[in-house]
Amino acid sequence: MRIGVVTFPGSLDDADARRAVRMAGGEAVALWHGDHDLKGVDGVLLPGGFSYGDYLRCGAIARFAPVMTEVVDAARGGMPVLGICNGFQILCESHLLPGALIRNDHRKFGCLDQVVRIENNKTAWTTAYDEGDEITIVLKNGEGSYVADEATLDLLEGEGRVVARYLGNPNGSQRAIAGISNEAGNVVGLMPHPEHAVEDLCGPGTDGLGFFTSVLTTLANSR
Amino acid sequence: MARVVVDVMPKPEILDPQGKAVQGALPRLGFEGVTEVRQGKRFEIELDGEATDERLAEVNKMAETLLSNPVIEDYNVTVIS
């Protein structure tokens, strides 16, 4: 299975994301923001970082990068797409996911090992987990506070589209939301970083690996 | 040549941590009696030709598509010259 990882100017975690894909047993394919080309991948990952310097709003300019035309089309067609951190912000700006991410309520950049609870293990990216699993991955952001209007939040809760929730609330996210999915469950946005928790040598453990094995299983089952 | 200003502000119900930080700093500098600060963005856009209704509709579209995120921000378009 080939998972494409997009590099935007200012992406930081693209190499870690590709490494996580490889560790899960997939083939990682580097994609470039300026190309209208997904190189025939089976899934796409938008990594963390500060695309286009976070100018204007996080993800606002990356949303209009040439490669995003293809990513948005593929996502609407059912291809698994995961946005982590800045990638989540890009998915919200692209309207593939509802809501937005604003500055942390405590106004500091947070960098910590964070426990999140998996609330929906039926998305393309979470099947390796059990519902209710509490996993420790890395949270590092300045603008990770998830906001949406009450109606949208109720809709997300009602349809089981809250994928992961923080234990404690590290950034003022509404309803402690750490990650959400689209209606079909193929597009997931996640503020914390599973790709930094895939091996014991560094990071808080291997709890993050499940996101990457999940998508490979999902893709294998859909063939 | 016309100059158009687009002001973008966080919606009233959206927390504005930057505005809060500024508000917190003011009393420390001796500025008293400030009950709220909200921080937004101002874009000055220069158009070739007149600011016709058609051009302004275009500016509104710019504001809605790129300059603001309607989920968290409101915008206002003003022609200044």
* Residue B13: per-residue pLDDT: 92
Q: Does A193 participate in catalysis according to the annotation?
A: yes
CATH 3.10.290.10 at B2-79, yes or no = no
Task: Report, as an integer, the average pLDDT of A172-191.
Answer: 98
Task: Report, as an integer, the average pLDDT of A173-196.
Answer: 98
Name which CATH class applies to A2-221.
alpha beta
Report residue A163's pLDDT band, with 50, 70 and 90 as the boundaries: very high
Q: Does A85 participate in catalysis according to the annotation?
A: yes
Task: Report, as an integer, the average pLDDT of A193-208.
Answer: 95
Question: Average per-residue pLDDT in chain A?
Answer: 97
Please judge whether A100 and B21 are an interchain contact, meaning their C-beta atoms are less than 8 angstroms apart: no
Q: Would you say residue A17 has pLDDT above 90? A: yes
Task: Report, as an integer, the average pLDDT of A83-96.
Answer: 98
Best of A103, A146, A174 to substitute, by most chain B Cβ atoms within 10 angstroms, is: A103
Nearest to A107 among B14, B21, B67 (CB): B21
* Residue B81: per-residue pLDDT: 87
What are phi and psi for residue B8, nearest 5 degrees? -120, 125
Alpha carbon separation from A143 to A37, A94, A139, A149, A207 (Å, rounded): 29, 17, 11, 18, 23
Question: What tens digit of pLDDT does each residue of B11-30 get?
Answer: 999 999 999 999 999 999 99
In chain A the first and final C-alpha atoms are separated, in Å, by: 11
Report residue A223's pLDDT band, with 50, 70 and 90 as the boundaries: confident
For residue B3, count other CB atoms closer than 10 A to its CB: 13
Please judge whether B17 and A103 are an interchain contact, meaning their C-beta atoms are less than 8 angstroms apart: yes
* Residue A53: per-residue pLDDT: 94
Domain spans in chain B, listed from the N-terminal domain onward: 2-79
What is the value of pTM for the model shown? 0.95
Q: Nearest residue of B to residue A173 by CA position? A: B15
Question: What tens digit of pLDDT does each residue of A110-119 get?
Answer: 999 999 999 9
Give percent of chain A above pLDDT 90.
98
Question: What tens digit of pLDDT does each residue of A47-65 get?
Answer: 999 999 999 999 999 999 9
The torsion angle over the Cα atoms of residues B5, B6, B12 and B15, rounded to 10 degrees, is -110
Task: Report, as an integer, the average pLDDT of A18-24.
Answer: 98
Nearest to B14 among A98, A102, A107 (CB): A102
Q: Would you say residue A45 has pLDDT above 90? A: yes
Mean pLDDT of successive 10-residue stretches along chain B, which has 81 residues = 96 93 95 96 96 96 97 97 87
Contact A137, A194 (CB under 8 A): yes
Choosing from A70, A93, A143, A195, the catalytic residue is A195
Domain spans in chain A, listed from the N-terminal domain onward: 2-221
Q: Is A184 helix (H, G, I), strand (E, B) or coil?
A: coil
* Residue A48: per-residue pLDDT: 98
Closest Cα in chain B, distance from residue A172 (Å)? 10
Q: Does B67 touch chain A (CB under 8 A)?
A: yes
* Residue A134: per-residue pLDDT: 98
- Residue A120, C-beta contacts closer than 8 angstroms, at least 6 positions apart: A126, A131, A160, A161, A162, A163, A181, A185
Q: Hey, which residues does A165 pair with through a beta bridge?
A: A117, A177
d(CA A190, CA A72): 17
Residues of A in contact with B71 (CB under 8 A): 92, 98-100, 147-148
Q: Does B12 touch chain A (CB under 8 A)?
A: no
Report residue A133's pLDDT band, with 50, 70 and 90 as the boundaries: very high
* Residue A115: per-residue pLDDT: 98
Task: Report, as an integer, the average pLDDT of A185-193.
Answer: 98
